[in-house]
Structure 1
């Protein structure tokens, strides 16, 4: 995104006045898989992190966890 990255987008969503903003599941999908990268995503307000290359079973499990 030219105007902002996923971290900033997540912060803005979480800080918005939308009544469901805190309940919207946000999962990071990135090639950065170090623990510091995962921590940064969580600190920004994301619910989880999925590293590339994508493991479809892991992806589906994480999506299921955050939709229930």
Structure 2
């Protein structure tokens, strides 16, 4: 999920998904994709309920390994 989406930011969207009443809301893998790669950015992503933080640009191998792990 892009952290900087135009209508609803990724952090807000992740919180919405995680705290919704859907049965699988806590199990859906959410991976942040963002150019914001500082430690604070990673902390905010994880606090919002995302599973992983990937800084852009990233190689396809990194993305595929992260998806497989999630």
Q: TM-score, normalised by structure 2?
A: 0.88
* Structure-2 separation of matches of 1:56 and 1:39: 23
Structure 2 runs not aligned, ≥5 long? none
RMSD between aligned residues: 1.0
- Aligned runs of 1:1-68 on 2, under 5 Å? 1-66=5-70
Could you tell me how far apart the structure 2 residues matched to 1:18 and 1:57 are? 31
Structure 1 stretches of 4+ with a deviation exceeding 6 A read none
Quote the Cα distance in structure 2 between the aligned partners of 1:8 and 1:59. Answer: 22
**Larger mean Cα displacement after TM superposition, 2-11 or 35-44:** 2-11
Please report the TM-score for the alignment, with normalisation by the length of structure 1: 0.90
Q: Give the gaps of 5 or more residues in structure 1.
A: none
